[in-house]
Structure 1
Amino acid sequence: MSTETKGSLRVQVKASVLHGIKDLKIVIRHLGDPEPSEVTVAVQSTGLCGSDLHYFNHYRNGDIIVREPLTLGHESAGTVMAVGDEVTTLKVGDKVALEVGLPCQSCELCTSGRYNICPALRFRSSAKSFPHFQGTLQERINHPAVYCHKLPSSVSQELGAILEPLGVAIHASRRAELPSNSTVLVLGAGSVGQLCAAMAKYDGANRVIIADIQQERVEFALSHQFADASVVVPMKRFERIEDKLAFAKEVAALAKAQNLGAEVDAVFECTGMESCLQAAIYATKPGGRVMLIGMGQPVQTLPISSAALREIDLVGVFRYASTYDEAIKVVERLPQLASLVTQRFKGFENIPAAFAMAGRANDDNGALVLKVVVDLGSTS
C-alpha cells in the first residue's frame, strides 16, 4: 500500500475480528477517504489490556455483551498516511498516539472537561455502544485528528501505545489530589498498578508501597524505582464475611508495617477485588482517599462505616480526560516505562497467541508478563 495525502483513498485493509469466545478471524474491510477533520492512521503498535482479554475469553466484559463481530485493541500508536481537507495540525508521516474515546463534545460534562464520562461517548473496542466502535487491531483506521496526538522523535510507537494506560494513572493521580510528601499504597501490580505507582512517585509522593499476590510483580516495581516498598499478599479465600474482613485487616496491617505502622494518605485500588477494596479502606488514614480504579464485581460488601466514620473518600476513576500532553512529557522523563512491555508479537497471524500470552503470569521462559504488544508492521 502506498502513502497517500489528499484525494481519493479507498483501500482494502486487514482487521482482526472477534466472532465469539476466543474466535478471532482475519477479515478484509474497505476503508474510504478520511472525513475533512480526520486522518488515516496506519496502526503499528497496540497493547492488550484487561478489557480486551474479557471480550476475548468471554465475549463480554461484565454486563456488556458483544452483539456483533468486534475488532479489539485501543492502546495504540501509528503513522499518519492521509489527512482530511480541514486538518492543519498533522501531516503525512507524523507518528501519533491514538485517543480512542470520542465524546459528544457538547454536553455539560464535555464542556466542563469531564468528557470521559460523557453518556454518549463511543470507545474503540468497547461493545457498550451499538453498532460497536471497532478497535485498532486493523491495518488502518480513519480517526479525528483532534484525538491523534503527535509523538516527538524520542518516543517510539511502542511507547506511544503506553500513553493510553498511562492516562488512567495520570487521571487517578489528579483525582487523588495527593498532599505533598504523601504516602501511597497501590493494590495490584499489573501494568496499570505499575503506572499508578510510577505516577505517584513522579507527582512527589514520599513513599509508595505496592502490593500483589505475585512476588515477581512487586519486585519489578522496586527494581524499576516505581515503588519504595512492597507487600506480597497471601493467597487466601474465605466464604464468611467476618473472615473476609479479618483477612482485609491482615493485608492492611502488612501494608502499614511498610509505612512505619501508619495508615497511608491514599490507596490506588487497581484490582477490583472485594478483599482488596476492603483492605484499602482499612489501610487509609482518616481524611484520606481510596481511588477505585480496578473494575471488579458490580456488588461488593464493604466496611463502609470504617470509611464514613474516618471521612475516607471513595473516589471513582474511569479512563481519563485530557491526559495525553502530560503523558508524552512523562514518558520522555521516565524512559524506564518502556520496560513495561514484556512480550511482543508481530503480524495478524500471531494475534491469537498474543491474547493467550496476555492472560498468563509468566511466559514459556519463565519471564514476567505485564504488557503484551502487537506490532502490525510497516506503513508501506
Structure 2
Amino acid sequence: MRACVVHGAGDLRVEERPPVGPGPGEIAVAVALGGICGSDLHYYHRGRVGDFAVREPMVLGHEVVGHVAAAGPGTDGPAVGTAVAIHPATPCGVCHECTGGRRNICAHTRYLGSAARTPHVQGGFAQLISVPADQIRPLPPGLDLHRAVLAEPLSVALHAVHRAGDVSGKRVLVTGAGPIGCLVVAALRHNGAAEIAVSDLLDEPLNIAAAVGATTTARADRPDDPVWAGEFDIAVEASGAPAGLRTCVERVRRGGTVVLLGLLPPGGVGLLGNVAVTRELELRGAFRFDAEFDEALSLLSQGLLVDPIVTHTFPLEQSAAAFDTAQDRAVASKVLLDLSGA
C-alpha cells in the first residue's frame, strides 16, 4: 500500500509500506480521505510539534474517513464496505483521568500520527490502516465522506467551546482564523453566541470565518479597527501565537474566560500574569476531545455550516504539494488528501 511518511523536517515521502491486517479486536479501514492538520504541517516543516520530535519514519494523519475493509479474528463491527470515521485516540482506560471522565488528557493515550511516544504511533495517511474496533464510527445516514472528514477538527473546536462554558448570548473573540478557528466559529454559532469576532493577520481566512458564522472580523495588525471597541465575555486563542494569547488576555472583560486552544511554541511564553490576577480571569486549556467526536458527526449530518473551510483536495501522490499549499494561509484553509485512487 502507499502511505505519506515524514522522515524529518522537510523530508516527506509517498512510499510503499506493507499493509497491516486487523488483529483481534481491530477493524481494518480502506482510507478514502484525510485532512491535513496543523500538527501534520509542523511535523513536516519543523520535524516536531511542541516537545514531540520525529525520531523515526512516521505515517502522518489523524483526520481520516473511509470504508470498512475487514474485521480481525472474533471482532464484531460494521459490515465490509460501511462508510466510517475513525476516532484517532486510544486512551489507557484505567488512569485517574480516564476513570474521571477526562480521557482526552490521558497521559498514556496513543494518537494516530503522533510522535509523543516512541515507537511513534503511525497515522492514517495510508491506504489501509487497522485500529481498535471501538474507534470506528459508522457515518450517520446522509453524511458523505467529504463532510465527515471534518469530524476530528470539529471535535477539537467543540471541546474548546465546551471548556468555555455557556456561550449563549455572549460576546466572544476568536484569535486565529485557520481551520480550527473557523470551526470554533461554527461551534459558537451553533451554541448560541450573540456576537463572534475573529481576528487574523490575513484577509482570506477572515473571509472564511465570516462565511461560517463570524459576525465581525478584524485584522490583528490594525489596532484601530472598530471591532476592538468594548470587551469580550469569552476569548478563544486558536492561533498558537503568543501575540494571540496576549490579545485574548487584554481584550476579555474582568472575570471573563480565556480558552487556550492553539499550541504555543515550545519553551517560555510571556503571559500578562498581573492582568489575569487583577481581573480574576479564568484561563482554561483545551486539548483534543473525547465524546465530542460523536457530537461532531451528528452536527455534520444535520448540515452545520462548515463547507467553506475545505479549500483544496490533492491525490496522495501529490502529498508534498498538498502540504505546501496547506502551509500557505493566504490561499488555503483545510486541505484534503484523496487516498481512494492512490
When the two structures are superposed, what TM-score results if normalisation uses the length of structure 1?
0.85
Counterpart-to-counterpart distance in 2, 1:36 and 1:117: 26
* Residue 282 (1) aligns with residue 250 (2): yes
Give the equivalent residue in structure 1 for 2:185.
Answer: 197
Contact 2:178 2:329 in 1 (8 A): no
- Determine which of 318, 322, 326 is the counterpart of 2:295: 326
Give the equivalent residue in structure 1 for 2:281.
Answer: 312
Where structure 1 has 5 or more consecutive residues not aligned to the other structure, the ranges are: 1-12, 236-249, 363-367
Give the equivalent residue in structure 1 for 2:269.
Answer: 300
Counterpart-to-counterpart distance in 1, 2:32 and 2:137: 15
Summarize deviations over 1:204-250 as a string: whole Å, max 9, x none. 1111111111122212222x242111111117xxxxxxxxxxxxxx4
Structure 1: 4+ residue segments shifted above 4 A? none
Could you tell me which amino acid in structure 1 is paired with residue 236 of structure 2?
F
Contact 1:293 1:318 in 2 (8 A): yes
Shift of 1:33: 3.5
Contact 1:101 1:121 in 2 (8 A): yes
Summarize deviations over 1:163-221 as a string: whole Å, max 9, x none. 11101111011111124311110100010000001101100111111111112221222
Counterpart-to-counterpart distance in 2, 1:48 and 1:30: 23
Contact 1:183 1:265 in 2 (8 A): yes
* Residue 355 (1) aligns with residue 323 (2): yes
Counterpart-to-counterpart distance in 1, 2:23 and 2:82: 18
- Determine which of 40, 49, 54 is the counterpart of 1:66: 54
Where structure 2 has 5 or more consecutive residues not aligned to the other structure, the ranges are: none
Could you tell me which amino acid in structure 2 is paired with residue 336 of structure 1?
L
Counterpart-to-counterpart distance in 1, 2:332 and 2:21: 39
Shift of 1:314: 0.6
Shift of 1:304: 1.2
Counterpart-to-counterpart distance in 2, 1:330 and 1:77: 16
Shift of 1:145: 1.4
Give the equivalent residue in structure 2 for 1:210.
Answer: 198
Counterpart-to-counterpart distance in 1, 2:117 and 2:196: 37
When the two structures are superposed, what TM-score results if normalisation uses the length of structure 2?
0.95
Shift of 1:254: 4.9
Counterpart-to-counterpart distance in 1, 2:74 and 2:103: 23
- Determine which of 158, 171, 181 is the counterpart of 1:170: 158
Could you tell me which amino acid in structure 2 is paired with residue 371 of structure 1?
K
**Higher RCO, 1 or 2 (CA under 8 Å, sep at least 6)?**
2
- Determine which of 43, 58, 61 is the counterpart of 1:55: 43
Could you tell me which amino acid in structure 1 is paired with residue 311 of structure 2?
T
Q: Secondary structure at the match of 1:299?
A: coil
Q: Secondary structure at the match of 1:208?
A: strand
Give the equivalent residue in structure 2 for 1:137.
Answer: 125
Q: Measured at CA, do residues 225 and 22 of structure 1 come closer, stay the same or move farther in structure 2, by a change above 3 Å?
A: closer
Q: Secondary structure at the match of 1:31?
A: coil
Shift of 1:133: 0.5
Q: Secondary structure at the match of 2:69?
A: strand
**Identity percentage over the alignment?**
36
Give the equivalent residue in structure 2 for 1:372.
Answer: 335
Q: Secondary structure at the match of 1:30?
A: coil
- Determine which of 5, 8, 17 is the counterpart of 1:20: 8
Alignment of 1:101-250 (within 5 A): 101-222=89-210, 224-234=211-221, 250=223
Count of residue pairs brought into register by the alignment: 341
Higher-Rg member (1/2): 1
